[in-house]
Amino acid sequence: MREHGCSEESLLSFLSMKKKEDRGYDHVLSSMCSIPHPIAAKAHAMFLETNLGDPGLFRGTAALEEMLVGRLGALFHHRGAGGYATSGGTESNIQALRIAKRCAGVRDPNIIVPESAHFSFDKACDMLSVEMRTVACDETFRMDSDTVQELIDQNTVCIVGIAGTTEYGMVDPIEVLSDIAVDRDIFLHVDAAFGGLVLPFLENPLPFDFALPGVASISVDPHKMGLSTIPVGCLLTRDNATLHLLNVDTPYLTVKHACTLSGTRSGAPVASAVAVLEYLGREGMRAVVAGCMKNTRRLIEGMETWGYPVAVNPDVNVATFNCPETPPGWLVSRTRRGHMRIVCMPHVHRNVIEEFLQDISELPCSKN
């Protein structure tokens, strides 16, 4: 590093130059993150120095974390849910598998995940030395529950169902998985990182949460559809005690135990997540989700008009198409099967969709 510090002016101009190299969200159709709600940014700025790794020092911030867990637990039909604010879906999934593994206490543990599972499960299984058994999806890109039954053995410590898959926006048959989990006494983790803040606000929500008796834990990411600042996820457990299976002694902190994976962790995004939920309420969240779903349907209708059929009709605001080309200037992503994938996040407004469809219509292979 430099010997003598530079002036604030030259530093800030350097930083804004770097910021300009970033891609703004305006033509980004591939991301599950979005521009934070203005109230999230305000709340975040108020809690910059807070550290939830030592919650005794930040009692108010710790109360906000409890509030986040309480609100999300209630939203998922279980007011007494345990949980804590993670850094996102990856940490939540790792921690859920740690709990499941600890609960079962078997020698050579395996878990059962759909082929559509997020890559965080690859990381988790590697770290935890757990065998991953993958279940193919049916023609609607949902986990095939018959195969789940076949793959279970006495070393199966967890079944994972996805509520809003990252690639295709599908919800696995969680109700059936819940029955299997109860029947065979296996921990069922629902990865609702994306869908957890979409599904409860739909008119006819698919069942995925603690209302189903087999669901033992849920991951949900406020930093995706919760419009908070980055990074904040939340792991929720039906039974508070299971979370504390992960406790380690923390002798030199203000609290005696911690169950979290990270040590030092900022309270700022947690405050921002609570702020958005409080500020918008269920009514405001329903409006956000309704807007995203309406745009998703409009996008699908428009793409089909130009001759690009959907790969599957999605349960949440992720749309996928048989469309090999991408119009210049747009950022879409491609699924492992090669479908064009577009996430209709809140920053993807109706006018953005219309502009994209206009550019699509000008592709050489579009129907007109």
Ligand X SMILES: *Cc1c(COP(=O)(O)O)cnc(C)c1O
Binding site residues, ligand X, CB under 6 A: 32, 88-90, 93, 118, 120, 162, 166, 191, 193-194, 221, 233
Instruction: Look up residue 97 and give its amino acid.
Output: L
Q: Which is nearer to ligand X, 144 or 191 (CB)?
A: 191
- Mention every residue, 6+ apart, whose C-beta is less than 8 A from residue 59: none
Instruction: Look up residue 64 and give its amino acid.
Output: L
Q: Residue 342, SS3?
A: strand
**Which residues lie across from 242 on neighbouring strands?**
none
Tokens of 20: 């300009």
The nearest distance, CB 206 to ligand X, in angstroms, is: 15
CB 28 within 8 A of CB 243: no
Q: Which is nearer to ligand X, 289 or 357 (CB)?
A: 289
Q: Which is nearer to ligand X, 160 or 357 (CB)?
A: 160
Q: In a 10 Å sphere around its CB, with 0-12 CB exposed, 13-18 middle and 19+ buried, how is residue 39 labelled? A: middle
The nearest distance, CB 86 to ligand X, in angstroms, is: 8
d(CA 169, CA 194): 9
**DSSP state, 204?**
S
Q: Which is nearer to ligand X, 169 or 327 (CB)?
A: 169
d(CA 330, CA 334): 13
The nearest distance, CB 219 to ligand X, in angstroms, is: 7
The nearest distance, CB 248 to ligand X, in angstroms, is: 22
The nearest distance, CB 255 to ligand X, in angstroms, is: 25
Q: How many CB atoms lie within 10 A of CB 1?
A: 3
Q: Which is nearer to ligand X, 55 or 88 (CB)?
A: 88
Q: Which is nearer to ligand X, 54 or 167 (CB)?
A: 167
Q: Which is nearer to ligand X, 85 or 259 (CB)?
A: 85
Cα torsion 23, 289, 228, 79 to 10°: value is -160
The nearest distance, CB 297 to ligand X, in angstroms, is: 21
The nearest distance, CB 245 to ligand X, in angstroms, is: 22
CB 268 within 8 A of CB 47: yes
The nearest distance, CB 351 to ligand X, in angstroms, is: 26
Half-sphere exposure of 85 (CA within 13 A, CB side): 32
Q: Which is nearer to ligand X, 82 or 226 (CB)?
A: 226
* Helical ranges in the chain per DSSP H: 8-21, 38-46, 59-75, 89-104, 120-128, 145-151, 174-184, 240-243, 268-305, 350-361
